[in-house]
Chain A
Amino acid sequence: MSARLRSAVPAALILPGFLLVAGLFVWPVAQLVATSFGDRAGALVHYVKIFTEPTYLRVVGRTLLLSAQTAMLCVLLGYPLAYQLNRAGGIGKAVILVCILIPFWTNLLVRTYGWIILLNPQGVINGVLRQLGLIEGAVPLVYNTTGVLIGMTQIMLPYMVLPLAAVMSRLDPAVMRAARSLGASPAQAFLKVYVPLTLPGVLGGFLLVFMLSLGFFVVPAILGGPRDLLLAQLIEFNINQTLNWPFAAALSTVLLAATVTLYWIGDRFFGLGRLWGAR
């Protein structure tokens, strides 16, 4: 085989994938960005609208806040889970993995409607609380930001637990022994050695969940209330209801820019690419 042919074969194998990505992803995204700047009234008119009108600013702010809350909840729930996952032996490990992965593999709509059954005013949780005499009416757990937060946290949890458990498994157990031998109690060894050494995993997982939450649509649409619109819902509204596509494109570009920036921060400072196995 000639040298030219040898280098041509891998190129030919890459070509279909390259065309797919370029034609169906890069080009449409470029179009989307172009559309957002393409208004006759001025290139930045939609962006000015997003960042000056309080209604839209509130949506952006609410989306950022809810994503941050989801990521924070995932850290609080995910850290002990990942810790246990890493320490548990055969069966314990399998049980934790199944508990995390079965919901992960279940259809998103099924899971989300499942939450309505649990959370609605006549639902299981409110019913139990009433039976116990802890409440009289019903705690509003769904069709508001609480419902969205609960649903999102469940869906995002694996994105926190799995990379975090990977970081924890790479930690040399002798390091913890060393801390103990040097005079640290189990709690001190955990706080002074284990937590700092797994912190990059926490920050990486936080950013990952935060990024994925920014553009989430299904869960807020089903579990959220009509007054708690998020960015993805606002985009959908502008595409399907008001047909203001350039404005929807501008909103999407803001979302895209936020995600890319966060990914860059995560990759540059917390090795997010490594968590994914990219490097």
Chain B
Amino acid sequence: MTGAAVQISHLSKRYSDFVAVDDVSLDVAPGEFVTLLGLSGSGKTTTLMAVAGFVDLDAGRIAIDGRDIAGLPPEKRDLGVVFQNYALFPHLNVFENVAFPLRMRKWTQPAIEKAIGRVLDIVSLGHLATRRIAELSGGQQQRVALARALVFEPPVLLMDEPLGALDRSLRDQLQTEIKRIQRDLGVTVLYVTHDQEEALALSDRIAVMAEGKICQLATPDEIYENPASAFVAGFVGESNFIDVTMRGQDGPLATVAPTGIPGALFTATTSRAAAPAQAQAVMAIRPEALRLAALQDTPPCNAIPGRVALREFMGATVRLTIDTELGPMIVRDGRVSEAARFKAGDTVRLSWNERDALLFPPR
């Protein structure tokens, strides 16, 4: 099985009172894992269902390996689809669920048995072939749905929040398995989720969606390190946001005055993707980019005093909420770091490197 290229160009879908998908274009390379990441109503599921053939498009073109499929009914598209809540057939057992696409394609019984034996091994369900769907756990149902969508060797697999109904540890485990299966089979995956951690872990590229548009399409690292907008910086991972006024600019570096503290000046980096054009801007700093020190230490240049309001122990990391003149700031650092030693009530100094403070147009 080899993956196919998926080309989505200028997709639009309007419902009576709102635009679900607004001129979305996306090219997925053969064998690539691309995630549509967004909140509910961002258009991610509508886009996926349009590729699957369940949404009548107002405009746009969808092609698989260059072949336009926009006019084809779902059953003629030959794409594997894993639905939210799996949509298994409760009246059929595991074997017959997985056999369904093969029976529709009129495969012979020996060929069906061979293909199912293989695919159930891939999802580690070989021993459950005769079980009824109602007798399976959520994780097992997920695997059946995956096997059913893969058994006819589709070149593209579409997945709509496949892990949404499962608890954390099971999600992590299945996440790893989905990634392994996708690599082994070489199938192209278009994946929809609202869970940013899932998207970061699984994807070759992520398309962050909001209000029917793609805000940024890039690798997980790129999206995390160079978000295209303040929205993306806040949606993928955490960010501290500070309203500032631009004072001067020298290449990528800029001098800014925070709105909250009269007279103070910071240095920051104008973001590559979206440099602020006007005087007002917002500065975003990741919680792990903030350093924490005792107040009496020598003040570095980008620093503000504050007081630890809350200390949350997260296991591998510690998350501190610091009350400052700029409002509450979140700091995250390792369990054994300098920052982890502070307790609630301690007075501290917050500082950051100008490279880690990104400037965006105001939201």
Contacts and interface: CB of A to CB of B under 8 A. Distances in A.
A188 B89 CA distance: 14
A241 interface: no
Interface string B49-87: 000111000000000000000000111011111011101
Interface SS majority for chain A: helix
Contacts, number: 67
B83 A180 contact: no
A215 B198 CA distance: 62
Contacts of A188: 75, 104
Contact of B100 (A172, A182, A185, A186): A182
Contacts of B81: 177-178, 181-182
Interface SS majority for chain B: loop
Q: Which of A175, A178, A180, A184 has its CB near the most chain B CB atoms (within 10 A)? A: A178
A183 interface: yes
A197 interface: yes
Interface residues of A, number: 18
Nearest to B91: A196
B308 to A, nearest CB: 48
Interface in A176-200: 177-186, 188, 192-193, 196-197
A175 B89 contact: yes
B85 A181 contact: no
Contacts of A185: 73, 75
B48 to A, nearest CB: 11
Interface residues of B, number: 26
Given A196-B91, A197-B91, A182 B84 contact: no
A48 interface: no
Contacts of A1: none
B152 interface: yes
A181 B52 contact: yes
Contact of A183 (B52, B91, B152): B152
6 closest Cβ contacts across the A-B interface? A183-B104, A174-B87, A178-B87, A182-B101, A181-B81, A180-B74
7 contacts: A177-B74, A178-B148, A180-B73, A181-B79, A181-B81, A184-B104, A193-B89
